[in-house]
Amino acid sequence: MTDKKNVSSPNMKMKKGSRPPLDMKVLGRIVKMLFKSYPVLIPLTAFCIIFSAIVSSIPAIFIQKVTAIIEEFADGKLPGENLWPEASKQIVPLVLILVGLYALAMVFLTLYTQLMAYITQGFLCKMREKMFDGMQDLPISYFDTHKHGDIMSYYTNDIDTLRQLISQSLPHLLQSAVIVTTVLCLMLWYSIWMTLIVLCGVFAMFFVSKKIGGGSAKYFIKLQSSIAREEGYVQEMMTGQKVVKVFCREEEVSRGFDEINEALFEEAYRANAYANSLGPIIMNIGNVLYVICAIATGIFLTSRVKNLSISGLAFSIDILIPFLNMTKQFTGNVNQLSQQINSIVMAMAGAKRIFDLMDEKPEEDNGYVTLVNCKTDDNGNICETEEHTNMWAWKHPHGDGTLTYTRLCGDVRLLDVDFGYTPDKQVLHNVSVYAEPGQKVAFVGATGAGKTTITNLINRFYDIEDGKISYDGININKIRKSDLRRSLGIVLQDTNLFTGTVMDNIRYGKLDATDEECKAAARLAGADDFISRLPLGYDTLLTNNGTNLSQGQRQLIAIARAAVADPPVMILDEATSSIDTRTEAIVQRGMDKLMEGRTVFVIAHRLSTVMNSDVIMVLDHGRIIERGNHEKLIAEKGTYYQLYTGAFELE
């Protein structure tokens, strides 16, 4: 097994001193998914944003026109003479038009906020569903090599960065871009000379944004990785809290957390220090630019400089006043654009992690042999039926279009199997196992000898490197994995119970099982007695992996869950390891009934649980060194004999 690694680390590596690029492919993928999810609402929302942005950009036109009207009526009038009666006839319609546009913009703005709330949460809901559905198709090896807390970070921290991107950054980016474009066109309309002065200031803003924003973005990306590490550490410590307290390692654990937390603090501090300094600097550059524009306009007016503009208007007060307002609006929205860069970069880092999870290769399954209900016809031939029967068969399609049916018996064979979790470390060497229908095959050996690995290969949690595994004479590579696993029942040493009632957890083995079938399975496993004594019996709610039950009780429920599935092949991986000897005797009787007529693979350290096995195989460092029944192995006086007589421990 490979060491666990931080899933985020490959995506976060950057050359020292380099600025993290804005991944346009990731951004494009998000936008494409948004349009695909909401093909009507996204354009409607964009229209609302664009309309309100344009309306907020055009007051300068009205100010210029009103100022020009006042100047026109002021010419030739005596000081103190009332200009309003005549000027109002032209000014009032302009004001009413502006008020109407603002009212309409407010409607569109309200609609936009409601649409964005719906789109954002709906999109995140769909993303979480895609992530979780895709995660169900990942191979077991993925979860063996990635920290569970880090995986949880995808659904919390990384998803939250997408929420900020969709609900805030992208709309503000579009809004600011429209305002900047509109205002720039108006500025060119009124004065090209003044526009050039403003653009010089904007270039200074972009230069500062690049320098400061680049450093900020770099640390924001590192921040994502640091948050994932901290969440992974917390999850790991919560899971192992009892171990921490038993060995009095609270201080060491706290120190470990403090180190990770300090690293998170450093990344967060640096990222936010850069980001927080950018806004005031850009704002003050805008203020300085405003003053420069005012001075330049004054110089142009007093020097009677000829104006160069698209409109052909000369320099005058009616241009100066709106132009200064546009300068403030222009620089303010350039500042808004620069402020969004960090949020977008951080969201890209989170989105890339999410897409990396979604793009993980699913578990390969090239199987085409399926498991079907069957019955025998009058001639004794096996045929498929839609009725629920206790007979199962492998449905095997052939290249010529014909179908053959093989009765599911539970004949499992491993022939010269080699396997290693990593290429450089082989775990199993030339292992051969023959389990005939109804046989009980036991594996004993030291921890790490390869016992559980064999059962993982039968389930196809991992695929072998060399050799062959057959099931009822069919290579298991040809059997569809879901059908293969449906024919196998498994009870693991580490019991997993889900939030729900005791009945729900037993029924997990067979979702259409009746209450009576679940209770019968519990009686078979020896769990009915303690379940009946629970406060609500089978309706007792289990939470947090069943911590309100003892380890032995949890194991009994797991055995009942396997029993209700009624599979032809059972795998018991230390199934009674957490049960005391008195309870074990009760369970063993139920297990004997459960194992009748089934092929059973048993992994156990307690030799008392494997003595009645048809075949016992002793493994050592991935090799089978002895095989035979209990009497035969005792007579040989080899490793099994020494284990049985206590000459040496399994370890």
Q: What is the pLDDT of residues 14-33, one digit of tens each?
A: 444 344 445 678 888 999 99
Q: What is the end-to-end Cα distance of the chain in Å, rounded? A: 19
Q: What is the mean pLDDT of residues 270-286?
A: 77
Lowest mean pLDDT across 68-72, 180-184, 397-401, 525-529: 68-72
Q: Are residues 289 and 389 in the same domain?
A: no
pLDDT at residue 13 tops 60? no
pLDDT at residue 401 tops 70? yes
Residue 117 lies in a domain: yes
Q: What is the mean pLDDT of residues 551-563?
A: 85
Residue 255 lies in a domain: yes
Q: Are residues 334 and 228 in the same domain?
A: yes
Structural domain containing residue 230:
23-358
What is the C-alpha separation between 291 and 243, in angstroms, rounded? 67
Residue 429 lies in a domain: no
Q: Are residues 167 and 243 in the same domain?
A: yes
pLDDT interval class at 117 (50, 70, 90): very high
pLDDT interval class at 590 (50, 70, 90): low
Segment of 192-196, 206-210, 431-435 carrying the highest mean pLDDT? 431-435
Residue 183 lies in a domain: yes
What is the C-alpha separation between 74 and 87, in angstroms, rounded? 10
CB 410 within 8 A of CB 569: yes
pLDDT at residue 358 tops 70? yes
Q: Are residues 247 and 328 in the same domain?
A: yes
Number of domains in the chain: 2
Q: Are residues 270 and 382 in the same domain?
A: no
Contacts of 596 (CB under 8 A, 6+ apart): none
Contacts of 178 (CB under 8 A, 6+ apart): 49, 50, 53, 54, 57
Q: Are residues 128 and 55 in the same domain?
A: yes
Q: What is the pLDDT of residues 502-526, one digit of tens each?
A: 999 999 888 888 999 999 999 888 8
For residue 493, the 8-state DSSP code is: S
pTM above 0.85, yes or no: no
Residue 596 lies in a domain: no
Q: Are residues 310 and 375 in the same domain?
A: no
Q: Which residue has the higher pLDDT, 477 or 147?
A: 477
Give whole-number Cα distances, 580 to 243, 518, 549, 560, in Å.
21, 24, 15, 17
Residue 610 lies in a domain: no
Q: Which residue has the higher pLDDT, 493 or 294?
A: 294
Residue 133 lies in a domain: yes
Q: What is the pLDDT of residues 610-646, one digit of tens each?
A: 888 899 999 998 999 999 999 999 999 888 888 888 6
Tell me the average pLDDT of the chain: 83
Backbone CA torsion sign across 254, 257, 259, 263: negative
